[in-house]
Structure 1
Amino acid sequence: MPRMPALTTSSDGFLLHGEPFRIISGAMHYFRIHPDQWTDRLRKARLMGLNTIETYLPWNLHEPEPGTLVLDGFLDLPRWLRLAQDEGLHVLLRPGPFICAEWDDGGLPAWLLADPDIRLRSSDPRFTGAFDGYLDQLLPALRPFMAAHGGPVIAVQVENEYGAYGDDTAYLKHVHQALRDRGVEELLYTCDQASAEHLAAGTLPGTLATATFGSRVEENLAALRTHQPEGPLMCSEFWVGWFDHWGGPHHVRSAADAAADLDRLLSAGASVNIYMFHGGTNFGFTNGANHKHAYEPTVTSYDYDAPLTESGDPGPKYHAFREVIAHHTATPDEPAPAPALKLPVTDVELAHRAPLLPYLRGLSSTDTETPVTMNELGVHTGYVLYRTTLPGSGDGLLRFPDGVGDRAQVFVDGASVGVLERERHDETLSVRVPHAGAVLEVLVENMGGVNYGPRIGAPKGLLGPVSFQGTELRGWECRPVPLDDLAAVPFGPSTATTDAVPAFHRGTFEVDSPADTFLSLPGWTKGQAWVNGFHLGRYWNRGPQHTLYVPAPVLRPGANELVLLELHATTGTRAQFTDTPDLGPESD
């Protein structure tokens, strides 16, 4: 006989172990935060007045290959759940399968997306079977942390804003039953934008419906109540900030405005999950992208203008929300946390370099008659260099009729001749070819998988044939850029103070006592950054973001190493670690 869940519902609210309970939660993604900082962030959640913490689960990282479950390092979810419980916090889990989250491919694994015919987020047995297999591995490891077994997890979400995507109710029922069949006894709920259309398509009879919104509190709660006449009112994503795209503004929302809406929510008796309480960082190649009218990749920072900043410091919203929450419920009788110490300003001379293209030419290639996508090469992130020869000479058009995914730098005999971008719908490039047999090289960058809407899983790399002066180019060498281990990069002394070719650059710097810091790269253009082998992520002078967050645990006392992969040009060979982030000019 099934046990009564710890969290249940009444006609107008929640009950926890039979007693009235209001969820005051905040979103925090363990996989966007250095594991050595989890305890600090969870403690600060409790001190703001939260009684619950919420997280998505990124399927693409937890199961990078079919049948392989990863639960360590940044993905040590059992440890994170244990730390949350130690802090006295309940937990809401959102396992997907789709998470959106401005995350690469919305959290769907690349190996699953490799099947071009699969119907994502549907009753297609190829999709449901893959998710079932993932749950078969994942849920036994999480069972001790479920409330039924004395753990902190009090509720689990079914899918994610499904009403904005489809209306396959049989699929939603499958996800619901898949959780139940594998021992999840806790309260299950759905989450949709607060419109009649989305709520109708994305909810299940007998399953708690919750809504997502960031303003118009009374209107959105009324829409939820119209759809669900009884039960708790809950805003499961109360949007208090927003994310940024490269080339766009840095989004902010005033603390006073967000706090006023939070007060309206709580005054209405509703429960809330603040999205985000603490955003964290899209380290490495984990950022997603949007694609409605044009492709728009998300920046490295996921600060989100959240109450707790990207580096874990209380911002204006932290103090404003803490005050609002204290008006509605008992809060800890402890002072608000202070900002963490920052590393003193430190300059770094990158005195060693290794040109990228000559290095790549010495690596083995996959040879194909026509270009193949990154997906077909089994390359899920990063870059691929495509190489062939040009049969003619003179001025002419290079045509990429199917476009590129997502950004291509084009070289003729090693000289840069232009850039093509998916976001601009570029398909042609005027070039001058000095002689027949000149070498054409195309370095294509995956800028992040679309995380929302019907374009999830869109291919990367060269997406079709390439022609010059009307002649299709054939006989291609395809070389992924190896970035997992930079030890093989053939660095030598840098002999110039400027550089105008793609190259790795390396420098060392001294640290007395590790502390949070921000990497500033004035004079550099676009590329990737690593500190002590830890992949910070992408930088780009297009902005809005102009610094990269460096967590204190990445540093060590004594000598430290900075490596940059600069794709274009630099006006100098110096970088700087600063004590202040620069996420761009603010725009409400």
Structure 2
Amino acid sequence: MPEFTIGETDFVLDGSPFRILSGALHYFRVHPDHWADRIDKARLMGLNTIETYVPWNAHSPRPGVFDTDGILDLARFLRLVGEAGMFAIVRPGPFICAEWDNGGLPSWLFREPGVGIRSHEPRFLDEIEKYLDQVLALVHPHQVHLGGPVLLVQVENEYGAYGDDRAYLQALVEMIRGAGIGVPLVTVDQPVDAMLAAGGLEGVLRTASFGSDSQNRLRTLRQHQPTGPLMCMEFWDGWFDHWGGRHHTTAVDQAAEELDALLAAGASVNVYMFHGGTNFGLTNGANDKGIYRPTVTSYDYDAPLDEAGNPTAKYFAFREVLSHYAPVPAETPGAAGPAPEQAVALGEPIRLLDDPARWGSWSRWESLPMLDELDVRLAVYRTELPGGDQPSVLSLGEVRDRAAVLLDGAPVGILEREHHERAIALPCGRGRLDLVVEDQGRVNYGTRIGEHKGLIGPALLDGMPLTGWEVLAIDLDRVPQLWETAALDGRGPGVGPTAWRATFLVEHPIDLFLDTAGWGKGISWVNGFCLGRYWRRGPQRTLFVPGPVLRPGHNELVVLELDVLADPTARFVAGPSLGPLED
């Protein structure tokens, strides 16, 4: 079997120096029927390795659960990497950042007060050990010395930007080794002295993350890693987008020059991202550095392969650079043509506030519960206001992340975390108050990881506490099934959250792009598969529909509109629209 080790200056594979030319490809952001295609396109670009994170919270959405079906079948993904003649790097966290909800940490971990976050705290470590034992049992048989593709496993992720708990990092190393992982271990940090010092361990290879100024970045890394190969574990070739911002891109020539400089210095590389994919479902993360900004559904990242897996100009520029340092296959991938276009009317609207019980289950609370206590991402908080006819002020401790305010079914306004809003004027102090509260994505970087979601009390009306709440925990999995039991009255959409559906035809399954520019804010499903969020705030204007979720003939689109649907039409367009570019 192959032997892979860390030498004095190089990685060593079967006794010979080996340079890792890797690309990041997250299996959980790509439909599994597309995995083999994306892996092969990485090979054709000249890469020899595929890197992936592992999202703990996706595999374990609830305590005691470890799901490996479908898009979470890590073992199948690693088999496909090996069958393509490529190697693999696995980064299981437990924290991954990755612009992923809560940085990959399950929110249920932090429901019990005092549980540690990325620290040597017994309850936190106990759950991590259970998780690592499960995920590394999948990785173990795929290690290179056992005939598989896995060369490296990473410990934590950019820990030096968060803390300096060496006992925590050492405990992770012991857990990983205890799970039978024998390949070399690595850490990654930004090439800043303090971060490399705090995030590294002796006996574990330090690597760095950066996208420019390779010579100086590698010099800093070498000061903290005196021997062994130099590696940029995240060569940033693009960036992610947040709602309300611009679409980020990097100049192709500039990115290629930076890659060339990195390779000319003799370093190994992991291109982050080679193919970004999509934050399907409600998996997007967020950042909060004083202003809360959730990440968009697309994770295109301006990568060499676009969100739909098509090669870009950056792909061919990187391929040319790589050809100067390693053999590149003669074959090149072709680009897909325009996607089929069609428009169909959205009909049969079902209003949430007409019959809320169809959407979930009610419970009674004396004071405001957090969404974490309800174990949902969307909820309706309802109470009867005890005041009079005079205008009043409703105030809340904090809104995480968005609350639509309705009084007797009529919209009053929106409270948004991004704008630090927590109070609103009501036309009067009596009537039925409904607050439709949405978790828009958990923070994935910094000190707010693990925070609670929803309404953080107290709720006050003109300074007096509001109590006696009914709370509807909305089961989003029910939304595509609402029409099985709902009695439609033909009255039109009305106000408040509304579900819509349409049937559209395809001749054969092929990737599509759903135009959301005429809609407000919400979530879409095709044949029960959740495409993710849309928002007229942009920059993203289309949702990617993977061909494998479609079927020949009739297909069903469901839209949950949380705001106002200006155009009740579903339009499938020829290609993606990710928004205006940066200046």
TM over 0.5, yes or no?
yes
Letter in 2 for 1:52: T
Q: Could you tell me how far apart the structure 1 residues matched to 2:473 and 2:77 are?
A: 34
Calculate the TM-score normalised by the size of structure 2. 0.97
SS in 2 for 1:536: strand
Aligned position for 1:92 = 89
Letter in 2 for 1:353: P
Aligned position for 1:455 = 448
How far has the Cα of 1:32 moved from its partner?
A: 0.4
Residue of 333, 344, 360 corresponding to 1:348:
344
* Alignment of 1:442 onto 2:435: yes
How far has the Cα of 1:19 moved from its partner?
A: 1.0
Q: Could you tell me how far apart the structure 2 residues matched to 1:209 and 1:494 are?
A: 63
Residue of 233, 236, 247 corresponding to 1:236:
233
Summarize the Cα distance change of 1:493–1:413 in structure 2 as closer, same or farther, 3 Å threshold: closer
SS in 1 for 2:66: coil
Summarize the Cα distance change of 1:342–1:34 in structure 2 as closer, same or farther, 3 Å threshold: farther
* Alignment of 1:514 onto 2:509: yes
Summarize the Cα distance change of 1:25–1:270 in structure 2 as closer, same or farther, 3 Å threshold: same
Aligned position for 1:546 = 541
Q: Indicate if the aligned counterparts of 1:104 and 1:286 stay in contact, CA closer than 8 A.
A: yes
How far has the Cα of 1:495 moved from its partner?
A: 5.2
1:15-164 matches, within 5 Å, as: 15-164=12-161
How far has the Cα of 1:431 moved from its partner?
A: 1.1
Residue of 553, 578, 581 corresponding to 1:558:
553
* Alignment of 1:188 onto 2:181: no
Summarize the Cα distance change of 1:395–1:305 in structure 2 as closer, same or farther, 3 Å threshold: farther
Q: Indicate if the aligned counterparts of 2:349 and 2:501 stay in contact, CA closer than 8 A.
A: yes
Q: Indicate if the aligned counterparts of 1:5 and 1:187 stay in contact, CA closer than 8 A.
A: no
Aligned position for 2:328 = 331
Residue of 452, 464, 475 corresponding to 2:457:
464
Q: Indicate if the aligned counterparts of 1:58 and 1:99 stay in contact, CA closer than 8 A.
A: yes
* Alignment of 1:246 onto 2:248: no
Instruction: Summarize deviations over 1:359-379 as a string: whole Å, max 9, x none.
Output: 315653110111110111222
Q: Indicate if the aligned counterparts of 1:26 and 1:275 stay in contact, CA closer than 8 A.
A: yes
Q: Could you tell me how far apart the structure 1 residues matched to 2:439 and 2:55 are?
A: 19
Residue of 479, 482, 494 corresponding to 1:488:
482
Instruction: Summarize deviations over 1:74-112 as a string: whole Å, max 9, x none.
Output: 100000000000111100000001000000000001221
CA RMSD of aligned residues (A): 1.5
Q: Could you tell me how far apart the structure 2 residues matched to 1:500 and 1:423 are?
A: 24
* Alignment of 1:421 onto 2:416: yes
Q: Indicate if the aligned counterparts of 1:67 and 1:133 stay in contact, CA closer than 8 A.
A: no
SS in 2 for 1:12: coil
Residue of 309, 314, 321 corresponding to 1:312:
309
Q: Could you tell me how far apart the structure 2 residues matched to 1:58 and 1:34 are?
A: 15
Letter in 1 for 2:387: G
Q: Could you tell me how far apart the structure 1 residues matched to 2:23 and 2:156 are?
A: 19
How far has the Cα of 1:68 moved from its partner?
A: 2.1
Aligned position for 2:564 = 569
Aligned position for 1:373 = 370
Q: Could you tell me how far apart the structure 2 residues matched to 1:43 and 1:324 are?
A: 18
* Alignment of 1:526 onto 2:543: no
How far has the Cα of 1:294 moved from its partner?
A: 1.2
Letter in 2 for 1:458: E
Q: Could you tell me how far apart the structure 1 residues matched to 2:63 and 2:243 are?
A: 32
Instruction: Summarize deviations over 1:260-318 as a string: whole Å, max 9, x none.
Output: 00000000000000000000000110000001111110000000000000000001110
How far has the Cα of 1:138 moved from its partner?
A: 2.4
Q: Indicate if the aligned counterparts of 2:187 and 2:204 stay in contact, CA closer than 8 A.
A: yes
Q: Could you tell me how far apart the structure 2 residues matched to 1:96 and 1:32 are?
A: 17
SS in 1 for 2:575: coil
SS in 2 for 1:251: coil
Letter in 1 for 2:140: R
Listed as ranges, the gaps of 5+ residues in structure 2 are none
Letter in 2 for 1:416: P
1:257-296 matches, within 5 Å, as: 257-296=254-293
Q: Could you tell me how far apart the structure 1 residues matched to 2:380 and 2:47 are?
A: 48
Q: Could you tell me how far apart the structure 2 residues matched to 1:170 and 1:98 are?
A: 16
How far has the Cα of 1:342 moved from its partner?
A: 4.4
SS in 2 for 1:327: coil
Q: Indicate if the aligned counterparts of 2:353 and 2:497 stay in contact, CA closer than 8 A.
A: yes
Q: Could you tell me how far apart the structure 1 residues matched to 2:565 and 2:363 are?
A: 31
More displaced stretch, 464-473 vs 247-256: 464-473
SS in 1 for 2:323: helix
Summarize the Cα distance change of 1:442–1:431 in structure 2 as closer, same or farther, 3 Å threshold: same
Q: Indicate if the aligned counterparts of 2:361 and 2:474 stay in contact, CA closer than 8 A.
A: no
Q: Indicate if the aligned counterparts of 1:52 and 1:89 stay in contact, CA closer than 8 A.
A: yes
* Alignment of 1:582 onto 2:557: no
Identity %: 53
Q: Could you tell me how far apart the structure 1 residues matched to 2:235 and 2:527 are?
A: 37
Summarize the Cα distance change of 1:506–1:344 in structure 2 as closer, same or farther, 3 Å threshold: same
Letter in 1 for 2:350: A
Instruction: Summarize deviations over 1:371-414 as a string: whole Å, max 9, x none.
Output: 110111222xx201000000113343433341111100000000
How far has the Cα of 1:471 moved from its partner?
A: 2.1
How far has the Cα of 1:341 moved from its partner?
A: 4.2
Summarize the Cα distance change of 1:148–1:370 in structure 2 as closer, same or farther, 3 Å threshold: same
* Alignment of 1:537 onto 2:532: yes
Q: Could you tell me how far apart the structure 2 residues matched to 1:554 and 1:174 are?
A: 41
Q: Could you tell me how far apart the structure 1 residues matched to 2:289 and 2:298 are?
A: 22
How far has the Cα of 1:340 moved from its partner?
A: 2.5
Q: Could you tell me how far apart the structure 2 residues matched to 1:538 and 1:163 are?
A: 32
How far has the Cα of 1:7 moved from its partner?
A: 2.1
Q: Indicate if the aligned counterparts of 1:343 and 1:516 stay in contact, CA closer than 8 A.
A: yes
Q: Could you tell me how far apart the structure 2 residues matched to 1:297 and 1:202 are?
A: 26
Q: Indicate if the aligned counterparts of 2:396 and 2:455 stay in contact, CA closer than 8 A.
A: no
Count of matched residue positions in the alignment of Structure 1 and Structure 2: 579
How far has the Cα of 1:137 moved from its partner?
A: 2.2
Q: Could you tell me how far apart the structure 1 residues matched to 2:316 and 2:115 are?
A: 47
SS in 2 for 1:466: strand
Q: Could you tell me how far apart the structure 1 residues matched to 2:564 and 2:326 are?
A: 55
Letter in 2 for 1:238: F
Listed as ranges, the gaps of 5+ residues in structure 1 are none
Aligned position for 2:353 = 357
Q: Indicate if the aligned counterparts of 1:396 and 1:469 stay in contact, CA closer than 8 A.
A: no
More displaced stretch, 460-469 vs 20-29: 460-469
Q: Indicate if the aligned counterparts of 1:9 and 1:231 stay in contact, CA closer than 8 A.
A: yes
Q: Could you tell me how far apart the structure 2 residues matched to 1:29 and 1:86 are?
A: 17
* Alignment of 1:400 onto 2:400: no
Calculate the TM-score normalised by the size of structure 1. 0.96
Residue of 462, 466, 479 corresponding to 2:472:
479
Q: Could you tell me how far apart the structure 1 residues matched to 2:315 and 2:490 are?
A: 46
